Structures are given as structure tokens and as C-alpha cells.
């Protein structure tokens, strides 16, 4: 996961981890674990879709952030 790219997109939109966590319906702690890939935590397909829609990301952006 490209954590830096997701963080930069969040900053461009004025979001913090807590704000995005709330939008995803997860706790800030869960968001942090997923963002930092701790304890095997990963974003679900549903969460990735919500992030894509929130920031109007292209399929290429999604691939770069989550799958490369």
C-alpha cells in the first residue's frame, strides 16, 4: 500500500484520519491500523470504494494506492 499517496490525497481534501474513518464507518484506531498495515489490517473493498468516491479517484489511482 502506498500510504504516502493516500495521506497526500487526504491532506489535499482537508481530511484527517479521524474524518476519513468516520466517513468509512470505522474507528480512528481501525483506520490507523489499516493505513499502517499493522496486525494484518487491510482496507475492505467497500472501504476502498468509499475512498474512491469521496476523492473522485481514477482506477489507476486506486491501483497505485492499494495494490502496488
pLDDT digits (tens, 9 = 90+) for 2-19: 999 999 999 999 999 999
- Residue 44 CA to residue 40 CA, distance in Å, equals 12
Supply the pTM of this predicted model.
0.93
* pLDDT, mean over the chain: 96
C-alpha cell at 30: 481501525
User: What is the predicted pLDDT for the residue at 68?
Assistant: 79
Residue pLDDT, tens place only, 14-60: 999 999 999 999 999 999 999 999 999 999 999 999 999 999 999 99
Look at residues 58, 63, 7 and name the one whose alpha carbon lies nearest to residue 34. Answer: 7
Which grid coordinates are listed for 58?
481514477
Amino acid at each position: 500500500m502506498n500510504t504516502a499517496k493516500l495521506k497526500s490525497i487526504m491532506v489535499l481534501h482537508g481530511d484527517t484520519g479521524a474524518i476519513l474513518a468516520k466517513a468509512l464507518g470505522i474507528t480512528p484506531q481501525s483506520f490507523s491500523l489499516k493505513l499502517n498495515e499493522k496486525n494484518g489490517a487491510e482496507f475492505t473493498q467497500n472501504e476502498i470504494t468509499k475512498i474512491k468516491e469521496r476523492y473522485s479517484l481514477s482506477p489507476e489511482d486506486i491501483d497505485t494506492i492499494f495494490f502496488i
